[in-house]
Structure 1
Amino acid sequence: MTAGVRAHARIAARDDGRGGTSLPVLEGDGPLALRRTRGLGSEARVMLVGAMSGPLGGDHFTVEAAVAEGARLHIGSAAATIALPGQAKGESHYDVRLKVADGAELHWLPEQLISANGSDLNVSSRVELAAGARLVFREEQVLGRAGEEPGRIGSRLTVLLGGKPLLDQEVTCGPGAPGGWDGPAVLAGHRALGQLLVVRPEFAREPVQAQLLGECASLVPLAGPAALVTALASDALRLRRVLDEALNSLCGDA
């Protein structure tokens, strides 16, 4: 059996003392390459660039980012991530670990994660926010490429605010997932699912109002200064349109 690839990317963002954000740590190995791009105002921008296909079966990728007080960081990706079967047997793993300090802001806005036929991927995202932190976190999953049945994908998102749970949810889709994952109570035949979490201190004073955002999307306030959008769509483009409209409505400057 061929061993999978292990890759680790690390980002640290700090207030540079001149009205901007510095990146004292910006390093990635293997297929996880990091590139700094032009930011807006005090914000630093980093693109995650896949240097090779993956994650494949048996691979384990980890991305870590820490944003210190006064810093603003935007993380995106150059292209969608495609989970593929590989020569190594077993599950692949993609871990995201994010920490945002009081008075800091992080936008995590990567492209979609596509679960190709035959793949088996577990995604684990953990976000630790200080009480005065600000966050925009988008997660999008596409089940299968065009005309293709999906692989299995399990995803868990855990968010702590001030050391207390804000959100902890898990979903598994595809072959081997618990029965009913594609039924009317879960995906109802849709092949793209996503969520958008926005945390802003001002939401504590003026909570967002729960509302439907079309037939298969909703916006709900959480028990804290946060709002959660969940959406289903027939494809990635329609899903992105819904989430972009929701993001613009919640914070038009994002």
Structure 2
Amino acid sequence: MTTPKVPTLSATSTETRRAAEAAAPDTADRLPAPPRPTRIAVEASGDGARFALLDQGLYLAPRPVAGGSAPGQRHLRVALIGIHMMLLGGDDVRIEIAVGAGVTLEVIEPAGMVAYDAEGRQSRWCLDAVLGEGAVLIWEGAAFVAAEGSNVLRETRVRMGPGARFLLRETLVLGRSGEAAGPLRSITRLSGPETDYLYEDLDLHGMRQRAVGILGGSKVMGSVTAAGWRPEPLSEECAGTSAPGARRFELAQPGAVTRALTGTAHAADRLLEPVYAQWKAGLLAGTDRNP
């Protein structure tokens, strides 16, 4: 009797999934299966760190990037590579990350993402991360564009253990060139052992996005967010590259948000790059450990 071959992760293609779905019994009361999430887990291994889990999801494939852990360092890097066109109406992109105690994980989005015209049908992008004691997660996000006709719920939820730190770079673009944006709701919740560092629910829908104190006449909102420590102000050599339009806000708990409202993603990047670079360098050097 021949034992059937078990498909490997790389073999779980779109065709394979569709064939499995077609073969499954069709019952009226069956709930739709949740989408396969992209899952990443890292842990300490001796004096270094290793990937305990790299699981390709329905939309994104995690790929290790060189330049991470060296002898005596617990630092890993991974890129998220798109394997399907997204975001379309009904898409549900889920990313689950676990960072073990004392390990640093750097996640890179090498390309931006567009939520396309779906005639108002909602799509979703969700990051759910858990950080162990003293762990560090650095998320270097690319531009996220909400095209006209899209309808997006974007969630970033991070649960942080004692001494854990999180650095997030994010750029939200409302509409492509010459068009308005579809509804975009962005929820960010960064939770510590005792309370939240940040809980922001930003509903950019219709005229709300143009309200005073939200975006006004701006089309792009770029942010660099730190939680778990309070970054030092920009050094003198970097301060000269800043310009009006970027503002720093201190969180009640250790942390800060620097935000830029601009007309283009390039302008936001220009304002925020020195901030992100210095905050990241401090994390990797281990110098930003103040409470």
Sort the TM-score into its range (normalised by shorter chain): 0.7 to 0.9
- Residue 119 (1) aligns with residue 150 (2): yes
1:133 corresponds, among 150, 154, 164, to: 164
Report the alpha carbon displacement of residue 120 of structure 1 after superposing the two structures with TM.
0.5
Equivalent residues in 2 for 1:89-108, closer than 5 Å: 90-108=121-139
SS in 2 for 1:245: helix
1:56 corresponds, among 82, 88, 92, to: 88
Distance in 1 between residues matched to 2:103 and 2:150, nearest whole Å: 37
Distance of aligned partners of 1:161 and 1:77 in 2 relative to their CA distance in 1, 3 Å threshold? same
C-alpha contact (below 8 Å) 1:219/1:228 kept by paired residues: yes
- Residue 183 (1) aligns with residue 206 (2): no
C-alpha contact (below 8 Å) 1:12/1:26 kept by paired residues: yes
C-alpha contact (below 8 Å) 1:14/1:67 kept by paired residues: yes
1:35 corresponds, among 63, 78, 89, to: 63
Identity in percent: 26
- Residue 231 (1) aligns with residue 263 (2): no
C-alpha contact (below 8 Å) 2:38/2:58 kept by paired residues: no
C-alpha contact (below 8 Å) 1:207/1:221 kept by paired residues: no
TM, length-normalised to structure 2:
0.76
Distance in 2 between residues matched to 1:86 and 1:179, nearest whole Å: 20
C-alpha contact (below 8 Å) 1:95/1:125 kept by paired residues: yes
SS in 2 for 1:179: helix
TM, length-normalised to structure 1:
0.86
Report the alpha carbon displacement of residue 222 of structure 1 after superposing the two structures with TM.
1.3
C-alpha contact (below 8 Å) 2:44/2:100 kept by paired residues: yes
2:269 maps to 240
Letter of the aligned partner of 1:84 in structure 2?
Y
2:176 corresponds, among 115, 138, 145, to: 145
Distance in 1 between residues matched to 2:191 and 2:158, nearest whole Å: 6
Report the alpha carbon displacement of residue 153 of structure 1 after superposing the two structures with TM.
0.9
Report the alpha carbon displacement of residue 167 of structure 1 after superposing the two structures with TM.
0.7
1:252 maps to 281
Distance in 2 between residues matched to 1:166 and 1:252, nearest whole Å: 21
Report the alpha carbon displacement of residue 172 of structure 1 after superposing the two structures with TM.
2.1
- Mind listing any 5+ residue stretches in structure 2 that lack a counterpart? 1-31, 285-291
- Mind listing any 5+ residue stretches in structure 1 that lack a counterpart? none
Report the alpha carbon displacement of residue 85 of structure 1 after superposing the two structures with TM.
2.9
Report the alpha carbon displacement of residue 24 of structure 1 after superposing the two structures with TM.
1.1
1:13 maps to 42
Letter of the aligned partner of 1:17 in structure 2?
G
Distance in 2 between residues matched to 1:200 and 1:180, nearest whole Å: 31
Whose helix fraction is larger, Structure 1's or Structure 2's?
2
Name the count of aligned residue pairs: 242
Distance in 2 between residues matched to 1:219 and 1:171, nearest whole Å: 18
Whose strand fraction is larger, Structure 1's or Structure 2's?
1
C-alpha contact (below 8 Å) 2:115/2:146 kept by paired residues: yes
